[in-house]
Amino acid sequence: MIAANWGEGFRKFAKNPRIHFYPDRIEVDLKRSLMTLEGDQTSRITILEPLARDLKMMDRVEGDVTKAAALLSATVGIGDKQVDLIPASDFTLLQQVIGGFLAEGPEISGT
């Protein structure tokens, strides 16, 4: 069902209990809570499908990790400073989920 709604790139996440699929978004449970821009604590991040402008924005930054962080910031709607505070294990999982959107398109350098 996940692949039918979201694409083949997401099939590998079907059994991950930290990832929740909805018709309009994907939510990921964090191992550690994060401070939002509003000053609240959250333990779940909502990911929206990246837009073309989000992908184009990656061309303006240097480095693979910086590109990944910029795309994460754009797709989850949190600031760069909040992204910088995400633990590596959560950051990696979030990047893998975002990569599912890119899995069926052309390969993009730096993602």
pLDDT in tens, 88-101: 999 999 999 999 98
DSSP string, 72-89: HHHHHT--HHHHHTS-HH
81 is a domain residue: yes
13 is a domain residue: yes
Q: Whole-prediction pTM value?
A: 0.84
36 is a domain residue: yes
The pLDDT value recorded for residue 22 is 93
87 is a domain residue: yes
Tokens standing for residue 2: 């996940």
Q: Which domain holds residue 39?
A: 2-102
The answer for residues whose C-beta is within 8 angstroms of residue 86's C-beta and 6 or more apart is: 30, 34, 72, 94
State mean pLDDT over 14-31: 94
107 is a domain residue: no
Q: Greater confidence, 55 or 38? A: 55
94 is a domain residue: yes
The mean pLDDT of the chain is 87
Q: Greater confidence, 92 or 107? A: 92
Total domains in the chain come to: 1
59 is a domain residue: yes
Examine the pLDDT at 111 and tell me if it is beyond 50.
no
Q: Which amino acid is at 53?
A: R
